[in-house]
Amino acid sequence: MSKSQHVYFIGDKRRRYVKIGVSNDPWWRIQDLQAGSPLELRLDLVLDFDTDRSRALVYEDALHQHFAEYWRFREWFDYATPIRVFVDGWKSGDAPDIPAPAYSSKQHIDSETGACLSKEAFMTLLRDKARRR
């Protein structure tokens, strides 16, 4: 039997930073993250994808790309107003639309070198591009 998959938003209590990730147990995940964090963390939002991990991962990727301007490191973002609005919208019963990613970040190819970019390099590229707008 497969476990339910969830896209979660774990933020610090003061809403300065937020982690957007996928887990079959975000309640355990927050305990794991809290052990290594000096900030008090809380589970702000959990979106259920039943047992469809691939769909959860695609949605997580779309969120990462959509909020790339606020990306910090790995799956951590500044808890900027657009992310807060998204989380608060879901909590109030409004499911905000997030555009599907144009391509998987795992398969992004650097246009200059033809090499496959790491997720870190891809997110840096997206963040810098968004900040130049």
Report the predicted TM-score, pTM, of the whole model to 2 decimal places: 0.84
Does the pLDDT of residue 1 top 60, yes or no?
Answer: no
pLDDT digits (tens, 9 = 90+) for 61-104: 899 999 999 999 989 999 999 999 999 999 998 878 776 766 66
- At 78 the pLDDT is 97
- At 114 the pLDDT is 67
Cα distance between residue 55 and residue 52, in whole Å: 5
Cα distance between residue 81 and residue 97, in whole Å: 16
pLDDT digits (tens, 9 = 90+) for 4-61: 999 999 999 999 999 999 999 999 999 999 998 888 999 999 999 988 888 898 899 8
3-state secondary structure of 115: coil
